[in-house]
């Protein structure tokens, strides 16, 4: 008789586990667009500086700053090697989200289509819900917005 009771406990535990997995999957599936961005916005604080002032002068509200995205790279099925991807701020304007990168003198951006693609496309692909990537240069007081659009080869 003890075996019958063990099976009931086991089946109830498995049922609860399956129900919990289904709920998590359903919540993930029906998460509203931009959920990851809103989660990032709540994650980091903003310390006032000249870049935040520049963005606010241009109508942006800076939500958070200094984000690090952990990544891992594997070469030829070798061990995973950790790396990181950084962006400086997350801003919003007219209910549209923007990632902000600083144009730094030690690694200046090449303002050509291929140069921008090489340096910024990864951000657009990681966060497709963002309207664009803002490149801010507090030294020259410039704010530029970069957007990527996949074009049809025939068009």
72: domain CATH number?
3.40.1350
> Quick one: 19 and 74 in the same domain?
no
Same domain flag for 105 and 73: yes
Structural domain includes residue 114: yes
End-to-end CA distance of the chain: 73
Same domain, 82 and 111: yes
Domain shared by 17 and 70, yes or no: no
Task: Provide mean pLDDT across the span 114-121.
Answer: 92
Mean pLDDT over 80-106 rounds to 88
My answer on whether 61 and 109 are in the same domain is yes
Q: Is residue 155 part of a domain?
A: no
pLDDT value, residue 28:
67
* Domain presence at residue 69: yes
- pTM value is 0.68
Mean pLDDT computed over 84-103: 89
Same domain (yes/no): 130, 54 = yes
Burial 122-146 (b: 16+ CB within 10 A, else e): ebbeebeebbbbbbbbbeeeebeeb
Residue 50 falls within a domain, yes or no? Answer: yes
Residue 154 inside a domain? The answer is no
Contact 146, 120 (CB under 8 A): yes
Q: 132 and 58: one domain?
A: yes
Q: Is residue 75 part of a domain?
A: yes
Q: What's the number of domains the chain is made of? A: 2
Q: What is the pLDDT of residues 40-55, one digit of tens each?
A: 666 667 778 888 888 8
Identify the domain containing residue 79 by its residue range. 35-146
């Amino acid at each position: 008789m003890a075996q019958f009771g063990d099976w009931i406990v086991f089946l109830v535990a498995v049922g609860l586990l399956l129900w919990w997995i289904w709920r998590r999957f359903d919540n993930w599936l029906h998460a509203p667009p931009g959920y990851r961005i809103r989660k990032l916005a709540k994650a980091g604080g903003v310390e006032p500086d000249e870049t935040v002032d520049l963005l606010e002068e241009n109508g942006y509200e800076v939500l958070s700053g200094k984000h690090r995205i952990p990544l891992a790279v594997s070469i030829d099925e070798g061990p995973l090697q950790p790396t990181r991807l950084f962006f400086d701020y997350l801003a919003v304007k007219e209910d549209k989200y923007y990632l902000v990168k600083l144009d730094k003198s030690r690694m200046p951006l090449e303002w050509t289509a291929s140069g921008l693609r090489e340096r910024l496309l990864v951000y657009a692909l990681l966060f497709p819900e963002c309207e664009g990537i803002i490149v801010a240069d507090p030294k020259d007081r410039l704010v530029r917005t970069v957007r990527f659009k996949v074009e049809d080869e025939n068009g």
